[in-house]
Structure formats: C-alpha cells, structure tokens
Amino acid sequence: MSSKHSLVLTEAPWLRVVLITLTLTFVALFLLLPLAAVITEALRNGVEAYWEAIVEPDALAAIRLTLTAAAIAVPLNLVFGVCAAWAIAKHDFRGKNLLVTLIDLPFAVSPVISGLIYVLMFGMQGWLGPWLAEHDIKIVFAVPGIVLATIFVTFPFVARELIPVMQEQGTEEEEAALTLGANGWQTFWRVTLPNIKWGLLYGVILCNARAMGEFGAVSVVSGHIRGQTNTLPLHVEILYNEYNFVAAFATASLLALLALVTLAVKSFVEWRAAQQAAAARNAEPPASVGSLA
C-alpha cells in the first residue's frame, strides 16, 4: 500500500500526526470506552458478585434460550443463503435484481417492526391468533415467536455474503466438474463449497452475532417471562431497569465477549480469504489479465 503512494503524495508529517491522533481519540472515546465500561461496571462489586449474577437460574435460562434461538435461526438462514446464492449467482433468470432487493428487505426494517409483524400474524388480534388459540398453539409471547423474530432480523446475512462471492467465481469450474461426470451434489461439495467456504463462514459469524444479540424484535414478541421467554439481551434490560446494575453489566459482559470473539474470527476469516485470493491470483496470471481486458 505504501509503495503505491510515493512520499510526494502524502500529507505533511504534522498533519499526519494530527489526523492519526484524532482517529485514535475518536475510536477510544466511541468504541473502546463503552467496552471498558461494561467490564468495569460488571466487576464493581468484585468477582464473586459477577459470578453470582451469571450462574443465577434466570440468567442460565436466558443463556439457554439465546443459544436455542441461534441454533435454529442460523442453520435455517444458512440453508436459505446457500440456496438463494446458488439460484442467483449460478443461473440467469428474469426478476433476479428484484429478488436480491427483497432478500435485503429485513435490514431496512426497524427491529421493533420486525417483531410487530409476527404479533400481527400470530397474536390474539392477529390473522391466525384465534385459530391458534383454539388449537392451543402459542407462537407470540413464547419461544416460537422469539425464534421467528430472530430468523427475520438475521435473514439476509448469509445470502448477501455468498451472492457476490459466488458471482465472482463464475460457473466454469462447476461446468467442468459436470462435464467430467460429477452429479449436482458432488459438484457443490467438491467444487463450489471449497471456493466459498470463507465467505460462508463470514456470513454465519455475523448472522450468529446478530441472532444472539438481537434486542428490539425479540423484545416485542417475548412477553418477558423470567426464566421462560427471556433471552440474554432481554435479561440485561430487566436487571438494568431494576437498578441491579452489577448483574446487568455482568450479563452484558457475556454478550460483549461474544462480540469480541466475533470480531476476532471475522478478522481471521478476512485474512484467510485475502490469502486465498492472492494465491489464486498468483496461480493463474492469464485469468487476471483477461479480467482486466
């Protein structure tokens, strides 16, 4: 990068120092301090109080529910993402751009509305509410509603990561595999998947982080029953509103840890993907020349 920009083309040293200092100050103020505050507040009354807040039965139930919701939502959205990307990136059909826009729709919707739409579908005042009540099925203000809302807010993650990656790969390798006698499944597992694995992992990590951390949408459909329909973020809110700050921040620190792990894995995946891309460029120079033309 630095070789690309010769010395003449960069700012005066004092200006560089000022800009870097400004950036570091901004990042420290807006990104590092909030993280530090979570940890400090969580440990305010010592490690023992911290630990107590985490192993308390309601907190454990919240952890279980959060893991359950993510364990259902992430695989479903993974299968959807792969299917959608396969259809969109490997085939040409009318209405493709519309489909891509529709897949992104959940990102444009406020989390609160993402919860509301399921209340309107399955709640007592909703379309299917009376029928569901007759058959004694609870969706809203119960676990299924939480899972549905989680699926909605994490819906686009895997698909929108995979579509550009698979589009860039083209279809030549798959066509070669098919010509050599591989069937559809074999082509996908042996040819496509190795090419998209980093993009796939990237999408899954982001999807999982949002699934475990979602607040607004889940809050609308949860019903807030302690030990039953409280996810970790909702548990944080309840403790905070009860002025139980140490417990609230202790629970929040688990979610902050999840965020840090997500960032670490994400950086690793980006690094591996860049390596793979560099290796691919070095392996077949004619292809990159061709793409320039």
Partner 1 sequence: MASASAFTFKRPSVIPGFGITLGFALFYLSLIVLIPLSSTFLKSTELGWDGFWQTVTHPRVVASYRVSFGASLAAAAVNLFAGLLVAWVLVRYRFPGKRLIDALVDLPFALPTAVAGISLTALYAGNGWIGQYLEPLGLKVAFTPVGITVALIFIGLPFVVRSVQPVLQELEPELEEAAASLGASRFTTFRRVILPSLMPALLTGFALAFARGLGEYGSVIFIAGNMPMISEITPLLIITKLEQYDYAGATAIAVAMLLISFVLLLLINLLQWWSRKRHTE
Largest CA distance in the chain: 76
Nearest distance, CB of residue 59 and partner 1, angstroms: 14
CB-CB contact of 151 with 165 (8 Å):
no
Nearest distance, CB of residue 168 and partner 1, angstroms: 14
Q: Which is nearer to partner 1, 10 or 275 (CB)?
A: 10
Q: Which is nearer to partner 1, 61 or 252 (CB)?
A: 252
Nearest distance, CB of residue 92 and partner 1, angstroms: 4
Give the pair of three-digit tokens for residue 103.
């897949």
Helical packing angle, 143-153 and 193-213, nearest 10°:
130
Q: Which is nearer to partner 1, 123 or 199 (CB)?
A: 123
Helical packing angle, 33-42 and 245-283, nearest 10°:
140
CB-CB contact of 219 with 47 (8 Å):
no
Element holding 287 (H helix, E strand)? helix 285-292
Q: Which is nearer to partner 1, 187 or 195 (CB)?
A: 187
Q: Which is nearer to partner 1, 109 or 142 (CB)?
A: 109
What beta strand segments (E) does 186-235 contain?
A: none
Nearest distance, CB of residue 98 and partner 1, angstroms: 11
Q: For residue 220, what are the CA distances in angstroms to 130, 136, 223? A: 19, 21, 7
Nearest distance, CB of residue 194 and partner 1, angstroms: 17
